[in-house]
Amino acid sequence: MNLRTAALICICSLLLAGMPAHASLPVALGNGEKLPSLAPMLKQVRPAVVNIATYATVEYANPLLADPFFRRFFDLPVQPRHREKRPQSAGSGVIIDAQAGYVITNHHVIENADSIEVLLTDGRKLEARLLGSDEQVDLALLQVKADNLTAISLADSRELEVGDFVVAVGNPFGLGQTVTSGIVSALGRSGLGINGYEDFIQTDASINPGNSGGALVNLRGELVGINSAILAPAGGNVGIGFAIPTEIVKVVADQLARYGEVRRGMIGVEFQDLTPDLAAAFGLREAEGALIARVVPDSPADKSGLKSGDVVTQANGHPVLGAEDLRKRIGLTPIGQVLDLQILRDGRSRNIEVTVAEPLWLRVPGERLHRRLKGAVFQDVHENGEAVAVEIVDVQPATPAAEAGLRKGDLIIAVNRVRIRSIGEMRERIRRSSSPVLQLQREGRLYFLRLD
C-alpha cells in the first residue's frame, strides 16, 4: 500500500467517524442474543408499584328541607342527611413489605381521605388502613391484607451519584401504570418550600401528576426514592422531578409502623446561620455552616462537649450550609441514634458524636389523631416524669375541633371508657374504633365527645 492510498483510507475513516449518528435500533446481536432491554427488571418491579384512590365522605341535604320554618309551614318531617363517598385523588404507592402488607406513598396523596383503595397490577382492589403519615417529609404508610404480594428491595440512596440511570414507575394522570427513564440530575436538593424536611433526589425522568408516591428505581430494580413532586409552571413535566431518598424513607416508614408518627428528637442547642460578618469575626474563610448560639445545660449536646461558638459544617456526612440544614439533619435522625457532627472550633476541625434525645414536651396536631380533631394541639401531661393524661394546649377557631366543642385546657382521660395516659395510647384507642368516644375533664367536670 503506497502513501497516497493509506492517506485516502485515513481521510475516509475520519469522515465516517464524524458523520452524525442516526437514531436506530442497535445492530442485531449474534447467537440469538436479545437486544438490551429494561423489561426483565421491570417485570420484577411493576407488581410492587400500586395505584391508590382515595375517597371523602360528603354529607348533603335539600337546603329547603333543612329550613325548620319551611318544614313547619308544609308540616314536613325532619329529613335525614345523606352521605356519599366521592373520589378525592389518585396517586401511586410502593409495597415495601409483602408479609406485613406495608405500602409507602406520599402524605398529600391520602390527606383528608376517609377511605383508601389500593389497586394491584393483577387487578385486585384492596381496602387500605392508614398506619400513619408525616406532612413534614410528605410520606404515609398504609397497610393492606392480601396474599401473594410483591415487595421491592430498598437500595441505599447514599450510594447514588449524579448521572446514574433511574426509572420512574407510577400512575400519571390516572392512565394506569407507566414507566419513564432518565438520570439523577442532582442530589440533596432543598430550600424548595415543598416539605418541612427536604433532601430530594432530582431527576429528569418524566414525573407527572399521579406519579406521586410511585417508585424511583435503579437499573437493578431497587428502590432509591419515592417520587414526590415536580417543578413546572404549567403543572406538567419539564424534566425536573423530585424524589424522597430511601435513606429518609426507611427511617420514616419504621417510625410510622411503630408509633403511627415520626418522633423527632433534639440535642439541646440553639443555632443560627453563619453570616459573612460572623464568619470574619470567628476567623473563618467561608460563611458556610450553622453557628451554635447556646447549649442547653445537661442536654445531649452539653454532655457530648459541644460549646457555644462552635460551627457545625457536617452532620452524618452531609454538608451543613446553614441552620436549616442542621435542623433537617437533627429532625431526620431517629431518637436514640447518634448524630456525627463535624465542627470548627478555634479554627480547628473536630468530630463530636451526640445522641438525639426525646423532647420533654411533645406536641401533636389533632389531625394526626382524627380528622374531627383538626385544629387542636395535644400534649402529654407529666407528673414525676411519667405521662398521666393528654391536654389540649390550643384550639384554633372555625376548625373541626372547635366546632366539636373542644377547648384549650381540656384533659383527655379515656377513649371508649378505657383510661389513657399519653398521646400514643390515645391514638391506638382511636384507631381501634370506627366511632371513638373521648372522655374529657373540664374544670372538675366530665364530658363525653363522640368522633364520627
Model pTM score: 0.66
Better-predicted residue by pLDDT, 133 or 334: 133
Residue 290 is placed in which grid cell?
450553622
Q: How far apart are CA 357 and CA 240, in angstroms?
A: 37
pLDDT given for residue 238 in this prediction: 65
CATH class of 269-355: mainly beta
Question: What is the structure's pLDDT at 193?
Answer: 61
- Where do you find CATH 2.30.42.10 in the chain? 269-355, 363-450
Q: Which residues of the chain does CATH 2.40.10.10 include?
A: 44-143, 157-259
Active site residues: 108, 138, 212
| Cell numbers standing for residue 285 | 474563610
Cell of 305: 462537649
Q: Are 227 and 207 in contact (CB under 8 A)?
A: yes
CA-CA-CA-CA torsion sign (219, 225, 227, 229): negative
pLDDT score of 294? 83
Average pLDDT over residues 30-43: 79
Question: Is the per-residue pLDDT at 18 higher than 50?
Answer: no
pLDDT winner (highest mean) among 60-64, 66-70, 271-275, 339-343: 339-343
Residue 9 has pLDDT above 50, yes or no: no
Mean pLDDT of 298-324: 87
Tell me what pLDDT residue 407 has: 93
What does the pLDDT read at residue 438? 94
Q: What is the mean pLDDT of the chain?
A: 82
Question: What confidence tens digit (pLDDT) does each residue in 91-126 have?
Answer: 899 999 999 999 999 998 988 888 899 999 888 999
In CATH terms, the superfamily for domain 363-450 is PDZ domain (2.30.42.10)
Closest CA to 164 of 200, 217, 231: 217
DSSP line for 70-111: HHHHHTPPPPPPEEEEEEEEEEEEEEEETTTTEEEE-HHHHT
- The predicted-structure confidence for 416-432, as pLDDT tens digits, reads as follows 999 998 887 888 889 88
Q: Characterize the bridge pairing of strands 311-315 and 376-383.
A: unpaired
DSSP category for residue 65: T
The string of DSSP letters for 396-419 reads -TTSHHHHTT--TT-EEEEETTEE
- CA–CA separation, 280 and 265 (whole Å): 32
Please state which of the ranges 68-72, 189-193, 262-266 shows the lowest mean pLDDT. Answer: 68-72
Better-scored residue on pLDDT, 175 or 305:
305
| Residue linked to cell 329550613 | 67
Do 274 and 311 contact (CB within 8 A), yes or no?
yes
Separation CA 359–CA 135 (nearest Å) = 19
Write down the pLDDT at residue 195.
63
| Side chain identity, residue 395 | V
Task: Give domain 157-259's CATH superfamily.
Answer: Trypsin-like serine proteases (2.40.10.10)
Pairing state between β 437-442 and 445-450: antiparallel
**Coil vs helix vs strand at 199:** coil
Q: Rounded to 10 degrees, what is the CA torsion of 21, 25, 27, 31? A: 160
- Pick from 165-174, 343-352, 356-365 the range whose average pLDDT is largest: 343-352
pLDDT at 6: 45
- Assign 142 to helix, strand or coil: strand
Most confident residue range from 71-75, 275-279, 402-406: 402-406
Please report which residue ranges of 164-272 form alpha helices under DSSP H: 246-259
pLDDT of residue 415: 94
How far apart CA 170 and CA 237 sit, in angstroms, is 14
Give me the long-range contacts of 60-65 (CB less than 8 A, separation at least 24).
60/84
Distance CA 106, CA 9 (A): 60
Average pLDDT for 250-258: 91
Q: Phi first, then psi: give them for residue 326, nearest 5 degrees.
A: -70, -40
Coil, strand or helix: which one is 434? coil
To which CATH superfamily is domain 44-143 assigned?
A: Trypsin-like serine proteases (2.40.10.10)
pLDDT of 173:
60
Residue 219 Ramachandran class (φ > 0 left, ψ -120 to 50 alpha, else beta): alpha
DSSP state of 139: E
Per-residue confidence band for 280, with pLDDT thresholds at 50, 70 and 90: confident
**Cα–Cα dist 261/422, whole Å:** 14
Q: Quick one: pLDDT at residue 4?
A: 44
Mean pLDDT of 244-253: 91
